[in-house]
Amino acid sequence: MQRIVFLDRATVAPQITLRRPAFEHELICHDQTRPEQVAERLAGATIAITNKVSLRADVLQGLPDLKLVAVAATGTDCVDKACCHQHGIAVSNIRGYAVNTVPEHTFALILALRRNIVGFREDVIAGAWQEAGQFCFFNHPIHDLAGARLGIIGEGVLGQRVAELGRAFGMQPLFAAHKGRDGQGTLYTPWEEVLASSDVISLHSPLTPATRGMIAMPEFHAMRRRPLLVNTARGGLVDEVALVQALNEGLISGAGFDVTDGEPPATDNPLMAVASRPNVILTPHVAWASDEAQQRLADQLIDNIEHFVAGRPSNLVEGAY
């Protein structure tokens, strides 16, 4: 009998149905799991489910019964995949479930910031409309999307969908070549050109050692058009201290972030200090979390587990098995 342990069930909304796998099993769900609880809770487990709980080598090496880590997300940076490979533990992830929800959230941030929705809303609440004495007022700049250049960093399914939506708004999408690389083909615009010429830059890259901190002060100084920076991918892609400095110096016009480097962010996280500014929107890593997308995720999660047990694994992560 398979023993399945879900370490952080509360990372999927309670209204989402997690169906029971169609084989003999024991399923144990924990809402949250602290690092010091992982080894004890996975003792004897054959299948571990995690969304964001870290599974590192020191824990994995002590779990001889573990055969599958089913990640309830696309990103697998929470799992030591090299250790899994060494010990014959498969790792699966979720793919394609967020093709609508993340791009839509991305454009919600873009639209709100380009049109200064937050600033105008706060002004209305504060009575500025009455003080204006006319039918409208102009406390904040408003910019159309049509004709704007949309720099996209990350050319996967989410980046491609963001480009589609951008074209529908009349924007000109540009896929950035990978930082420090040339000759990647006609899909790509040179990294430096994307930074220099974009009106909006949207991040859709995985977090890896190569991409961590790829947007820092040198990149902000290269952004000649003072673009809006949007990040619905991973917080670690951007140096957050540099981001605040770029906002303070007017190197970018605003920031729409759904992620931080460390979640939830500490109270002294640099982004928390600027979160109340009208040109900053910080949402709590919910771009992926429409009910429709979460249900697709939950269904695919169980599909991956059932396929693995049946001997025809799906969505295995390269380098982990």
Indicate the CATH number for domain 101-282. Answer: 3.40.50.720
Q: Catalytic site residues?
A: 234, 263, 285
Q: Where are the domains of the chain?
A: 2-97+291-309, 101-282
Give CA–CA dist 297/97, Å, rounded: 6
Give CA–CA dist 170/261, Å, rounded: 32
pLDDT profile of the chain (321 residues), mean per 10: 97 97 97 98 98 97 98 93 96 96 98 97 97 96 98 96 98 94 82 97 93 97 98 96 98 98 95 96 97 98 98 88 53
Helix (H) / strand (E) containing 145: none
Structure tokens at 111: 């639209």
DSSP letter, residue 115: T
pLDDT value of position 186: 78
Sign of CA dihedral 88, 70, 95, 78: negative
Helix (H) / strand (E) containing 242: helix 240-248
Q: Contact, 113 vs 281, CB < 8 A?
A: yes
DSSP-derived secondary structure for 50-112: ESS--B-HHHHTT-TT--EEEESSS--TTB-HHHHHHTT-EEE---STTTTHHHHHHHHHHHH
Q: Which CATH architecture has domain 2-97+291-309?
A: 3-Layer(aba) Sandwich (3.40)
